């Protein structure tokens, strides 16, 4: 029996019951060992006649045998301190959830219960015998599940006497009138009559002016035909599927997704190509609550047509910048409430195709997760992916990890100790860097700039309105400069060709009050051209501008000169003899030492004697005479080949 199982480990039962009946109490529970973190537990009431245990035992036995997507899912059962318990999927009674459901959700629920009854009648050859609101439960996503299988019996065993024994626990309003006559009848008509009563009880809370196609006709049919006193006038339950209410677009879409394994490839391809346009006709809350589980099922994720046409509209929250026709189906709020929990569950699935599909769209929905969800659930699963043997999974995982760095930080994503191993190699402000100076005023920053920049910065400086320019500061020399370099500089200055300018257009200085700018030095010729242009008061003529542009273009540097290691500070050249050299005071004056030549040492001694004595005076004559005595000009050096002399 069902009570032979063991209690789930890590099960925490809520002490407050969701439902109290004569046979059991329904509680919410959480479990750490089961795949579903939330469960529902039915606990039998303690009684001396063991009637409660028998009812729950029958429910456990039938739920373990008869499995259907619209029948309550059985998980486990056990006996604890003499009390029988059964764990199922997380559900709540229909009576407590019916007030929060929309008309379409109610129609969809009636459709699910109808399919479950058709399965029991035509496939399992059984009769439920107690179809009512108390036998129906609602899952967290709003789906209806058929329970109450403790009264289920096979069609051959469904006799008036067997039904009479359990009539006290059944819903009296749903009992057909033929049971009172104790005559033989078709067992299928019992559930048909009860289903008609269920339709009346459910739609009693729905306003009569609701605008749903086919709802009024269906309610009228349920009163006249399903609840007919004559069993022969009641239609079969399978015939109700042709009603207009159950052919609503939303119901058809839900039904197709539920039976997707039974569809052919052609049917699935046609269905997914037009599915997005059909889903846009319904509220996003209804879609997310009722269809999110089906739209993100494994069969849908692995379908090629769905990957191309449907999933991009689901695995991405809406963006206000996109057109309405191209907008995804769910807003950010609805996406976080309904889609994100399913994505977190999908990341724990170790299926290569599912993981690759999630990583493919990761950049679109990664911002919908909270930091806690990313750190505790998503990031650990991504770190598992980089250890896989598949290069495709590893590459996709690394791209996903790169998207998490701006959100969580590199220290959280990669972990470990980090150090600054790279430096900023950009030139400084006054060098060759084409970065705008931070000293610019706010007015200069707000000026409109052209989107198309010229190919050469020199051409931009010359073609723009000429203003005073400030030459870059000359670097300090590492050592002295000799006279040869100065003579070479003068020679290069004399070789400049005539600029063919009138003397009246030249000026010996800059205009006062002009604000200097920072040009980008490219070459010596280009720098001289900009300097000359900046020293003119009158604007240049067209011919003169052409000469400057041609000179600048001819002297453009090689691209390697822009590198930091290859860059050379340009030397200053004078453009005209009359030009004022503003850097004259900055040039180091390094003169050659003056050498005194005396014909005779005695003359030098006499000259020194006439000078004033100082602490720095030296007796040159004595030193010189001593040197002459030791190294006289007439001294014989001897033979260098003498073997007694030391050799170097």
Ordered DSSP codes for 272-315: HHTHHHHHTTS-HHHHHHHHHHHHTSHHHHT-HHHHHHTHHHHS
CATH architecture under which domain 11-91 falls: 2-Layer Sandwich (3.30)
For tokens 């990313």, the residue is 374
- Residue in 624, 617, 631 with CA at minimum distance from that of residue 603: 624
| Range of weakest confidence among 35-49, 138-152, 347-361, 474-488 | 474-488
- Mean pLDDT throughout 579-591? 67
Whole-number pLDDT of residue 346:
92
- pLDDT greater than 50 at residue 309: yes
60 vs 460, residue with greater confidence: 60
Q: How far apart are CA 371 and CA 342, in angstroms?
A: 17
| Range of weakest confidence among 191-200, 370-379, 454-463 | 454-463
Type and span of the H or E element at 26: strand 24-30
Locate the DSSP E strands across 330-373.
none
Q: pLDDT confidence of 325, banded at 50, 70, 90?
A: low
Indicate the angle between helix axes 284-295 and 249-258, nearest 10 degrees: 20
Backbone angles phi, psi at 86, to 5 degrees: -135, 130
- pLDDT greater than 60 at residue 630: no
> pLDDT tens, 559-583?
555 454 454 544 545 444 556 766 6
- pLDDT greater than 70 at residue 431: no
CATH number for the domain whose boundaries are 93-245: 1.10.510.10
Q: How far is CA 294 from CA 90, 298, 349, in A?
A: 17, 9, 16
How many residues does the structure list for the chain?
648
Q: pLDDT confidence of 437, banded at 50, 70, 90?
A: very low
CB within 8 Å of 474: residues ≥ 6 apart: 569, 572, 583, 586
- pLDDT greater than 90 at residue 558: no
- Mean pLDDT throughout 308-316? 93
Whole-number pLDDT of residue 511:
43
Whole-number pLDDT of residue 252:
92
Q: pLDDT confidence of 484, banded at 50, 70, 90?
A: very low
Q: pLDDT confidence of 554, banded at 50, 70, 90?
A: low
Whole-number pLDDT of residue 119:
95
Q: How far apart are CA 590 and CA 46, in angstroms?
A: 114
* Dihedral over alpha carbons 313, 316, 319, 325 (to 10 degrees): 0
CB within 8 Å of 139: residues ≥ 6 apart: 89, 90, 91, 145
CB 138 within 8 A of CB 97: yes
Type and span of the H or E element at 526: helix 524-534
DSSP 350: -
- Mean pLDDT throughout 242-259? 90
- pLDDT greater than 70 at residue 536: no
Q: pLDDT confidence of 209, banded at 50, 70, 90?
A: low
- pLDDT greater than 90 at residue 522: no
Which two three-digit tokens encode residue 49? Answer: 């006649």
- For residues 579-590, one letter each, b for 16 or more C-beta atoms within 10 angstroms of the residue's C-beta and e for the rest, the string is eeeeeeeeeeee
3-state secondary structure of 582: coil
- pLDDT greater than 50 at residue 428: yes
Whole-number pLDDT of residue 514:
42
CB 60 within 8 A of CB 3: yes
Helix, strand counts (H, E) of the chain? 28, 11
Whole-number pLDDT of residue 419:
83
The Cα diameter of the chain in Å comes to 164
- Residue in 198, 26, 175 with CA at minimum distance from that of residue 117: 198
- pLDDT greater than 60 at residue 198: yes
Ramachandran assignment for 8, one of left (phi > 0), alpha (psi -120 to 50 degrees), beta (any other): beta
| Range of weakest confidence among 84-93, 266-275, 547-556, 601-610 | 601-610
Whole-number pLDDT of residue 421:
86
- Mean pLDDT throughout 467-480? 48
- Mean pLDDT throughout 13-18? 87
**% of residues, the chain, pLDDT over 90:** 39
Backbone angles phi, psi at 41, to 5 degrees: -125, 125
Whole-number pLDDT of residue 446:
42
- pLDDT greater than 90 at residue 296: yes
| Range of weakest confidence among 284-298, 588-602, 613-627 | 613-627
Which two three-digit tokens encode residue 131? Answer: 């179809």
Indicate the angle between helix axes 620-630 and 601-610, nearest 10 degrees: 160
Whole-number pLDDT of residue 602:
53
User: What average pLDDT does the structure give for the chain?
Assistant: 75
- Mean pLDDT throughout 219-225? 91
| Range of weakest confidence among 131-140, 218-227, 438-447 | 438-447
Each domain of the chain, given as residue ranges in start order, spans 11-91, 93-245, 250-412
């Amino acid at each position: 029996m069902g009570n032979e199982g063991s209690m789930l480990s890590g099960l925490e039962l809520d002490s407050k019951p969701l439902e109290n009946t004569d046979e059991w109490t329904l509680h919410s529970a959480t479990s750490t060992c089961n795949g579903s973190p939330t469960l529902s537990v039915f606990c039998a009431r303690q009684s001396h006649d063991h009637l409660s245990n028998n009812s729950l035992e029958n429910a456990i036995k039938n739920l373990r045998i008869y499995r259907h997507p619209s029948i309550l899912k059985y998980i486990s059962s056990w006996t604890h301190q003499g009390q029988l318990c059964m764990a199922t999927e997380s559900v709540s009674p229909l009576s407590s959830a019916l007030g929060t459901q929309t008309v379409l959700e109610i129609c969809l629920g009636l459709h699910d219960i109808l399919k479950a009854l058709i399965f029991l009648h035509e496939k399992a050859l059984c009769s439920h015998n107690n179809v009512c609101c108390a036998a129906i439960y609602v899952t967290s996503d709003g789906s209806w599940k058929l329970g109450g299988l403790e009264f289920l019996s096979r069609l051959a065993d469904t006799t008036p006497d067997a039904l009479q024994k359990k009539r006290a626990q059944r819903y009296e309003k749903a009992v057909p009138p033929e049971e009172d006559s104790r005559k033989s009848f078709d067992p299928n008509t019992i559930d048909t009559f009860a289903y008609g009563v269920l339709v009346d009880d459910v739609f009693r809370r729905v306003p009569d002016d609701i605008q749903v196609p086919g709802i009024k006709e269906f309610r009228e049919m349920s009163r006249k035909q399903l609840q007919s006193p004559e069993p022969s006038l009641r239609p079969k339950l399978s015939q109700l599927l042709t009603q207009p209410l159950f052919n609503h677009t939303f119901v058809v879409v839900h039904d197709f997704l539920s039976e997707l394994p039974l569809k052919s490839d052609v049917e699935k391809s046609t269905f997914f190509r037009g599915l997005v346009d059909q889903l846009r006709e319904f509220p996003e809350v209804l879609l997310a609550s009722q269809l999110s589980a089906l739209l993100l099922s494994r069969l849908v994720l692995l379908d090629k047509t769905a990957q191309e046409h449907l999933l991009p509209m689901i695995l991405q929250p809406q963006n206000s910048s996109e057109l309405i026709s191209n907008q995804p189906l769910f807003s950010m709020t609805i996406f976080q409430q309904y889609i994100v929990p399913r994505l977190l569950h999908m990341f724990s699935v170790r299926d290569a195709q599912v993981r690759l599909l999630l990583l493919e769209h990761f950049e679109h929905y990664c911002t919908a997760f909270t930091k806690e969800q990313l750190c505790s659930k998503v990031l650990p699963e991504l770190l598992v992916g980089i250890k896989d043997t598949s290069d495709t999974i590893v590459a996709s995982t690394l791209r996903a990890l790169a998207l998490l760095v701006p959100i969580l930080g590199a220290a959280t994503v990669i972990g470990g100790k980090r150090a600054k191993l790279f430096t900023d190699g950009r030139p400084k402000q006054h060098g060759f860097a084409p970065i705008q100076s931070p000293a610019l005023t706010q007015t200069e920053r707000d000026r409109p700039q052209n989107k198309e920049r010229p190919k050469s910065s020199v051409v931009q400086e010359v073609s723009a309105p000429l203003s005073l320019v400030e030459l870059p500061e000359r670097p300090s020399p590492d050592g002295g400069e000799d006279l040869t370099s100065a003579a070479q500089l003068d020679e290069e200055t004399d070789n400049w060709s005539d600029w063919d300018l009138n003397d009246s257009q030249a000026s010996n200085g800059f205009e006062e009050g002009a604000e200097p700018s920072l040009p980008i030095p490219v070459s010596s010729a280009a720098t001289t051209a900009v300097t000359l242009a900046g020293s003119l008061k009158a604007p240049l003529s067209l011919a003169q501008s052409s000469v400057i542009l041609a000179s600048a273009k001819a002297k453009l540097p090689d691209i390697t000169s822009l590198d930091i290691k290859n860059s050379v500070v340009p030397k200053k050249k004078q453009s005209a003899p009359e030009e004022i050299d503003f850097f004259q005071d900055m040039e180091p004056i390094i003169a050659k030492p003056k050498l005194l030549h005396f014909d005779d040492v005695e003359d030098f001694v006499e000259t020194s004697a006439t000078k004033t004595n100082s602490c720095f005076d030296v007796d040159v004559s004595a030193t010189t005479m001593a040197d002459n005595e030791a190294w006289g000009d007439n001294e014989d050096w001897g033979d260098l080949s003498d073997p007694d002399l030391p050799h170097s």
